[in-house]
Structure 1
Amino acid sequence: MTATTKERGRPRKFDRDQVLRLAMEVFLDRGYDGASVGDLTTAMGINAPSLYAAFGCKEALFREALDLYVNSVGPRTLDELGKRDVSARGAVDAMLREAARRFGNGRGCLVVLGATHRTADNEAVFHDLAERRNETQALIRRRLKQGVADGDVSAAVDIGTVAAFYATVLNGLSLQARDGASRKQLLGVVDCAMKAWDGLIGPASA
């Protein structure tokens, strides 16, 4: 009997998309390392063999949950950078404020907090998350470069350093949220970060 025949004869009794979303919630609360297979199966309402049959392993499940998180939550924050009807300052400000609103639920961001320490067991996941954070920083850098082209960012600005600064603020909002900061407090941090804009960017070019 082939694997396909077995699958046809023994169909899954759960909605894969639904249990994946439940797994995402567990990873959001506990991170990759803190979420045991038992935690996941309890939340998902399935047993371990079903988890392995549907997703392969815990790491593969995390990667699918991470993709779901990025595709369902991430764009709402990062899309603010792509808006061309505002200045570079307005785009960065909107990105940070959207993040503060979303992180204000006390859970922070899975891309930032999914695996905060590299271990032998999570090394591949750790590097994947680091690459995703670097991609976010690259998006900020790209938006600042567009600001130079548009004339609202001085051509003399060290774009890389400024992008790193605002990426650090973005990631820090997630950590502050996990530590209990309210949405109001997070928005206050954004206010401070944006007050630094003129000192970092300088007057726009003519």
Structure 2
Amino acid sequence: MATSPTSPPQTTPRPRGRQPTFDRNEALDTALDLFWRHGYDGVSIADLTKAIGIAAPSLYHAFGSKADLYREVLRRYGASGIDPDEITQAPSGYEAARLVLERGIAAVTMPGKPLGCMISSGMLMTSAENADLAAELRAIRATTRVALERRIQRDIDDGHLPATTDAPTLARFHATLLQGLSVQALDGATAEELLAVAGQALAAWPDSPPPG
């Protein structure tokens, strides 16, 4: 970038610390696999540096801290999941719930990947020193539930669901089921078995009110 005529000559500052000599995306994929399989508390800095093939100073230089690396991994993991906008823009609350459950089942039973969901099952129990990070995960989980609640409420407001439908409870029911599906996958349930469970839940969806 050209400097202003009145500005003093600028030199490129020398970066601090050791420069990374590894592929960042490959490192993130390696870290994702470790955190997914073993959880945040089950992965140490030594585990990460050994798996990625770098020294600890390089890891800190590239990612800042273990917590920051975990945050970046969560963003990478979440990018392939369901977006809250997809939920709110679904044709109906029912279709939104079906999308959430089917997409969730596909994620927790993906061939060649660890079972379960990093977000649904992540940091449910952790040490006090990681409370802030656990709170961030709870907030991420809440975005799906809140989006589903809003879509259900819109159906209620538009008269497509009975006025007695409790949108927050119905949304939380499906969010609870979504987390349970992750645990069931970890316990060995197949995608077909989990889809049958989702079908049972959707069969209990509130009936549309009769035409006025």
| TM-score higher than 0.5 | yes
1:94 aligns with 2:103: no
Does the 8 Å CA contact 1:145/1:159 hold for their aligned counterparts? yes
Q: How many residues align?
A: 198
The answer for the alignment partner of 2:80 in structure 1 is: 72
Does the 8 Å CA contact 1:108/1:177 hold for their aligned counterparts? yes
Q: Distance in 1 between matches of 2:160 and 2:39?
A: 39
The answer for the alignment partner of 1:178 in structure 2 is: 186
The answer for the alignment partner of 2:133 in structure 1 is: 125
Q: Where does 1:36-185 land on structure 2 (aligned, <5 Å)? A: 36-75=44-83, 78=84, 80-84=86-90, 86-105=91-110, 107-185=115-193
Residue type of the partner of 1:90? E
Residue type of the partner of 1:168? T
Residue type of the partner of 1:81? I
Runs of 4 or more, structure 1, over 4 Å off, are none
Query: Which stretch shows the higher mean deviation, 128-137 or 144-153?
Result: 144-153
Higher helix fraction (1 or 2):
1
Shift of residue 79, structure 1, vs aligned partner: 5.5
Change (3 A) 1:180 1:96: same
Change (3 A) 1:20 1:203: same
Residue type of the partner of 2:87? L
Which entry has the higher C-alpha Rg, 1 or 2? 2
Does the 8 Å CA contact 2:82/2:103 hold for their aligned counterparts? no
Does the 8 Å CA contact 1:88/1:143 hold for their aligned counterparts? yes
Q: Distance in 1 between matches of 2:105 and 2:197?
A: 9
Q: Distance in 2 between matches of 1:52 and 1:192?
A: 47
Does the 8 Å CA contact 1:88/1:152 hold for their aligned counterparts? no
Residue type of the partner of 1:115? M
Shift of residue 87, structure 1, vs aligned partner: 2.5
Out of 193, 197, 202, the residue aligned to residue 189 of structure 1 is: 197
Q: Distance in 1 between matches of 2:61 and 2:81?
A: 27
Identity in percent: 37
Shift of residue 59, structure 1, vs aligned partner: 0.8
Does the 8 Å CA contact 2:20/2:61 hold for their aligned counterparts? no
What does the per-residue CA deviation read over 1:132-187, in whole Å, with 9 as the maximum and x for residues that have no partner?
Answer: 11222101101101222343222221111111101101111111112221111111
Change (3 A) 1:3 1:74: farther
The answer for the alignment partner of 1:33 in structure 2 is: 41
Residue type of the partner of 1:130? R
Shift of residue 3, structure 1, vs aligned partner: 10
> Which structure 2 segments of 5+ residues have no match?
1-10
Q: Distance in 2 between matches of 1:3 and 1:113?
A: 45
> Which structure 1 segments of 5+ residues have no match?
none
Q: Distance in 2 between matches of 1:168 and 1:115?
A: 16
Q: Distance in 1 between matches of 2:37 and 2:61?
A: 24
Give the TM-score of the pair, scaled to structure 2.
0.83
